[in-house]
Amino acid sequence: MLDLTYQWIIPNRHRSAPAGYCLTVLDFEKAMLKMIADLYLLPVSMYNQGSINGGCMEITWYGHSCFRITERNLASVVTDPYDHRAVGHDPLKLKADIVTVSHAAPGHNYLNGVKGEPFIISGPGEFEIGGVFITGVQTNGHTKKTTDEPRNTLYLIDYNGINVLHLGAINRVPTQTEVETLGPVHIVLVPVGGGSGLNAAKAAEIISLLEPNLVIPMHYATPQSTIKLEPLSKFLKEMGLTAVTTQPSLKVTSVNSLPEETQVIVLDPVGN
């Protein structure tokens, strides 16, 4: 079972430390690092770029806006679990340590689809659970002019330095300033089928602003979906693509393994 406690590590002993920090000293020869560790607590991202866990992050799509993100020795994340009676697709029977909810709708906040007692994140803020760093940013309904607009929270999920951005049901193109505050985005999970989220043209515009390495489209019409959404083909046309080969999941070992130019990855929605 994954240990969700927080520790900082010194050779031959473990001591408790404040949540959200982790420092690893590999051997006694690194005495200087040990001295620093006794004086400061440094963010995990400075030392934990995959070398400690040596794992492979995997992203699996279950349909609509629901993904499961996993990596060995880190907390697992499920995004926007849906009620299949509202949107179609197979009933969810997932397990996760963390669940993110972008907005209050049956297609995005069906917590009964996730077993156990996961940590629920349903709004803006900064979180660290089980070695995974998550930043929630509100995008809709956050200004005086948009108070009647349904709220949406996007989530930047950091797995050992690989930043995955789930846009939820964002319905507008963010400003350049808003994009810059997110920092580097390596993988973006973007709605492309309209409805409560972006249509194909706006999705392509956001991608040009974010400049991610990989794009995974979501929230579009599939044979399993029962709500009215645009087909994936419209988005592919906006991206200058005629067809792509689908795959069951995406596996990434490190930031260095990602392509330099933006690529679109289409995942098959899988059953449970």
Count up the domains in the chain and report the number. 2
pLDDT higher than 80, residue 193: yes
The whole-number pLDDT of residue 236 equals 95
pLDDT higher than 80, residue 267: yes
28 lies in the same domain as 110? no
Six-digit token string for 84? 């299949």
Decide if 171 contacts 125 (C-beta within 8 A).
no
Q: Where residue 21 falls among pLDDT bands split at 50, 70, 90?
A: very low
31 lies in the same domain as 74? no
The whole-number pLDDT of residue 172 equals 84
pLDDT higher than 50, residue 210: yes
Within-domain flag for 65? yes
Find the mean pLDDT for residues 220-249.
91
36 lies in the same domain as 135? no
145 lies in the same domain as 12? no
41 lies in the same domain as 96? no
- Close Cβ partners of 105 (under 8 Å, ≥ 6 residues apart): 86, 150, 169, 196
The whole-number pLDDT of residue 22 equals 40
Mean pLDDT score of the chain: 79
Residues 128-149 have pLDDT tens digits of 999 999 999 998 655 555 555 6
CATH number at residue 118: 3.60.15.10
80 lies in the same domain as 198? yes
Six-digit token string for 12? 């031959």
Residues 147-184 have pLDDT tens digits of 556 789 999 999 999 999 999 988 888 888 888 889 99
139 lies in the same domain as 233? yes
Within-domain flag for 74? yes
Residue of 228 and 162 predicted with greater confidence:
162
64 lies in the same domain as 41? no
27 lies in the same domain as 114? no
Six-digit token string for 183? 């920092």
As a whole number of angstroms, the distance between CA 161 and CA 176 comes to: 22
Six-digit token string for 8? 């900082």
In what side-by-side order are the strands of the sheet with 98-100?
Answer: 119-121, 98-100, 77-79, 66-70, 57-63, 249-252
181 lies in the same domain as 240? yes
Residues 105-117 have pLDDT tens digits of 877 788 999 998 9
Residue 116 structural domain: 57-264
14 lies in the same domain as 137? no
